[in-house]
Structure 1
Amino acid sequence: MIRLNKILNQHKLLLLSLSAIGIIAAPSQASAFTLVNRDSLTDTQFNDLLLTKEYTETFVAESRMGNNGSGGNGERELGINSPWLPNANGKLVGGDPVARGDRTWTSGTPVDFMLEYNGSVVDYTVDGKLLTTTAFTGAATDIFLRTFAQKNNGSTSNITSTLTNLVLNGKGVGKSLSSAGTGISSDVDYLQISNITSPFKLTGQSIFSWTGAAPQRSNLAYQIKVASGATSVPEPSTVAALVVASGIIVGAKRKKPSF
C-alpha cells in the first residue's frame, strides 16, 4: 500500500507540474513563424534540398501565365500540384496538377490570393476563384515562396513577378518577393517561412507585369511550396518543461517513505 501511494503521489506531482507550465492544461500555442534568408537560392539548390530529403514537398500551389486564359492546348493559369519527390534513380518526379483553373491576367494589376491547409484539405483561392483538393495529408513545417520571370518573346519587355502584402495566420510576413526577367536570362527568387504548423492561412497579392506581348506558360509565375523539414527541433520552453518535470520525479523518488 505504501509503495502504491508513493507511485500515485509521483504521478500527481508530474501532472501538477506539467499543468502548471501549460503542457497538459491547454494545447500548446504554435510559436511565431520565422523567415529564412534565401536570397541567393537557385532552383538547382532548392531541388538539392528535396533530393537529400532535407525537405519534403507536401504540395505546391501555383499561378502562371499559361496562355492567359485563352483556353486549349492543355494550358492552365492556376493549379494545386503534387509534390516533387526523389525516385530510386535520384531524380525528382511529380509536379502534376490535381486541381486546375483558368484566368486572364492584366499587366500590373494586383490579384488577391489565399492558401489554406488544415492537414487534409487544401483551398487555393485566386481573385475569388477557388481550387480545392483532399489529395494531400502530409505535414507542413515550412513554406517556400518562389517567383520566376523570363522574357520569352522579342516584343515583350519589363517582365516581373511579385508577391506582396503577405500575411500568415493574421500576422504580416514583413517581406515581399519579386523577380525580373530579361531577354537573355531568367530571374528566380525564394523566400522561406519556417516554423509553421497546420492549419494555416496565407494571404497576399500577386502582380504579373510586362510590356508588349504577354508572356506564355511558366515564363511568368509564382509557386507556394508547402513542405516538411527532415528534423523537428523542440521549442526551448518545451525542453525546459520536460527537464523540470523529470527533476520533480527524481526528487520524489529520493524521498524516503513516511510510515
Structure 2
Amino acid sequence: MIKNLRFVYPVLLATLGVTFAPATANAISFIPRSDLTDSQFQQLIDSGKFTETFVAQGRIGNNALNGTQEFDLLDADNNLLPVAQGQRIWETGEAVDFTLEYTGSLVNYWLGGELLSSDIFSAPFTDIFLRTRATGDTVVVMLSDLFLNGIEIPGLISASSGNANEIDYLQITDIPDIFTLVGKATLAWANDPPENSQLAYQIKVGRINPDDPETVPEPSLVLSLAGGAALMSFRKLKRKSGSHSKVL
C-alpha cells in the first residue's frame, strides 16, 4: 500500500508508457483533450454534435462492499442512471485490470474480475471519451496500459493537491462498432480516502454527428475555389508589377 504520493506521481506517469501527442494507429485515432471542460463536453451533447449512448464508470464510492457503488454502467438516455452496478474495495496505488467490450448485442464491463452486463445499448458508435477526475488533497486517478482492439492508446491521469478539482479528457475516434477496450485503473491517495466521485473515471461511448452535408462544400469544390482565388491573386499581383507585364 502506498502511503506517500510524492513517490507515486513519477511512477504513475512512467507507466503511461506512450506520448500525449495526437496520433493515428490504423483507423483508430486519439486526441488529448486537456482543454476540454465538463461544461464544454455537455455543450457537445446539447448541441447534437455528440450523442452519448452509455458510460462505464469506476469510482472510489464508499470503498466498501456495501452502500454506495464503486463501478457501474450508466444509461445516457435515462439521466445517466445505473443499469448495472457493483462494489469493490480499492487499495491505494493498486493497478486494477478492466475490460469494456461491445459484442454487437451486449455491453460487458469487467473491473477486477467482477462483471457488469447490459443488452439495452446498440451501435453505431464512432467515438469514446475517456474522463478522469481527482478532487482532494494529494490524490490521483489514472488509466494506463490501454489497448482498443489491440491498438495502443495513450493513458490518462488526473492528480490533485490542496483540494483542487482536476479533470482530464482523451478522445478516441473512428472506433469500430464492435470493440474491446482493456487497461488498468489506479486510484491513489496519501491521507484519508476520498469519497463518492472525488476519485473517478468514465468511459463515455457514443457517436459524433457530422455537420449538415449541405453546408459542407465538396472537396473538389473547395479545390476549385482555392485555385480560382489563387489565380485571381496572381493576376492582381502581375498587374501591380507594371504595365509591361504579361499575364498568361
Fold similarity call, TM over 0.5:
yes
Give unpaired runs (5+ residues) of structure 2. Answer: 1-25, 213-248
The answer to whether the 8 A contact 2:123-2:177 is kept is no
- Aligned partners of 1:206, 1:184: CA distance in 2, in Å? 21
Are positions 1:169 and 2:155 aligned together? Answer: no
In 1, Cα distance between the equivalents of 2:207 and 2:64? 33
Give 3-state SS (helix, strand or coil) of 1:206's partner: strand
Q: CA deviation at 1:194?
A: 0.1
Q: 1:124-143 maps to which residues of 2 (within 5 A)? A: 124-143=109-128
Deviation of 1:69 after TM superposition, in Å, equals: 1.7
Of 217-226 and 132-141, the range deviating more from structure 2? 132-141
Q: TM-score, normalised by structure 1?
A: 0.70
Cα distance, 1:232 vs. partner? 8.8
2:37 is aligned with 1:57: no
Q: Which residue of 2 aligns with 1:122?
A: 107
- Pick one of 161, 165, 178 that aligns with 1:199: 178
Q: Distance in 2 between matches of 1:37 and 1:222?
A: 15
Partner Cα distance (2:124, 2:199) in 1? 29
98-107 or 117-126: which moved more?
A: 117-126
1:135, distance to aligned residue in structure 2 (A): 1.4
> Partner of 1:181 in structure 2?
160
Amino acid aligned to 1:168? L
Counterpart amino acid of residue 81 in structure 1: L
Q: Is contact 1:119–1:136 with CA below 8 Å preserved after alignment?
A: no
Cα contact 1:55–1:229 (8 A) shared by 2: yes
Runs of 4+ residues over 6 Å off in structure 1: none
Query: Normalization by structure 2: what TM-score?
Result: 0.73
How many correspondences in the alignment?
Answer: 191
Q: In percent, how many aligned pairs have the same letter?
A: 41
Distance in 2, matches of 1:217 and 1:106, equals: 15
Partner of 1:239: none
Match of 1:80 in 2: 73
Mapped partners of 1:70, 1:117: distance in 2: 27
Q: Which of 96, 99, 120 matches 2:81?
A: 96
**Distance in 2 between the 1:166 and 1:45 partners?**
25
- Structure 1, 176-185 or 53-62: larger mean CA deviation: 176-185
Find the counterpart in structure 2 of residue 90 from structure 1: none
